[in-house]
A and B are shown apart, each in its own frame.
Chain A
Amino acid sequence: MQSETKSHVDQVTSPAGHPVTVLRFEGDIASTSKDAVLGTYQALPKATAKLILLDFTKVDYINSSGIALVIQLLIEASNSGQKVAAFGLSAHFTKVFTMVGITKYAGLFPDQTAALAAL
């Protein structure tokens, strides 16, 4: 019933010349999304992936279990000295992420250009 979460990884460069890893998600982010969210993140090489963007542009539904997966990703990234930001959330989920305090640990931006400029 929940749509499968798809994810893929892109490598881009910030305007400041830093390499940035972009995790792009598609579908629902829910309890069934552990492999797509945490699994994809955990497969990144920690030595080189220091700047990470989460792309939610193609995500329509995020529930509290999905938010918990994002928080788990942020915990692991913090422990590994990686910086994480996110973009592409709808106005509603930007509000929800802000309500639960995620903005304290990951900047939220409207699009990839804005997120890259801030890194």
Chain B
Amino acid sequence: MSERKTTNVEVRLPSRMGFEKVAMSTAASVAKLMGFREDRIEDLKTAVAEACINAIEHGNRLNEKLSVGVILAAGEDSLEVKVIDDGKGMHTQPAKPDIDRKMHGEEDPRGMGMFLIQALVDEAEWVAGSDGKSSYVRLVIRLDKDQA
């Protein structure tokens, strides 16, 4: 059995809005090195930014004493990103936003982050820590055979 190589890059962010762009830029740089197409890198950037925003705002509740961990694992044909916070994690699957309900005031105009994450990457899962803290979201984006 051949051993599959992965290269890890880790970033630690303060729980302050705006720092999601550091993770976004790092993920874009790794994806570019791996040979991802520009449109897939843009998808990844938005997904990583939204995952970090959720971790900062909801997971760590903007508590700057807590940090958000971002681990990028570059494999031969895919990039996995874990965004880790100190929150309890998500227990429901993201719903598709309903623009008509939003326009009629029946649904909060916000709350699209998880939907965007799920729609823009190949895999997305939300994992709650067994101890009620340190949950994470795991994203995977795959290299298409014709772009490698």
Contacts and interface: CB of A to CB of B under 8 A. Distances in A.
Q: Do chains A and B stick together as partners?
A: yes
Overall SS of chain A's interface? helix
A63 B99 contact: no
Given A99-B119, A100-B115, A104-B99, A72 B109 contact: yes
Interface stretch (B38-46, B71-79, B126-134): B38-46
A96 B97 contact: no
A64 B113 contact: yes
Contacts of B39: 91-92
B116 A75 contact: no
Contacts of B116: 64, 96, 99-100
B18 A75 contact: no
Contacts of B109: 68-69, 71-72, 75
A1 interface: yes
Nearest to B53: A63
Nearest to A60: B21
A106 B112 CA distance: 18
A32 B17 contact: yes
B112 A92 contact: no
Given A65-B53, A65-B110, A92-B39, A100 B17 contact: no
Chain B binding surface SS class: helix
A102 B43 CA distance: 18
Given A68-B109, A91-B39, A105 B17 contact: no
Contacts of B46: 63, 92, 96
Interface string A55-98: 00000010111011101101100100000000000111000100
Interface in B1-54: 16-21, 39, 42-43, 46, 49-50, 53
Contact of A63 (B50, B97, B102): B50
Interface string B90-103: 00000001111011
B105 A75 contact: yes
Contacts of A99: 116, 119
Contact of A31 (B17, B42, B50, B103): B17
Contacts of B111: 64, 68
12 contacts: A1-B16, A2-B18, A2-B21, A68-B109, A75-B102, A91-B39, A92-B39, A92-B46, A100-B116, A101-B99, A104-B99, A105-B103
Interface of B: 16-21, 39, 42-43, 46, 49-50, 53, 97-100, 102-103, 105, 108-113, 115-116, 119
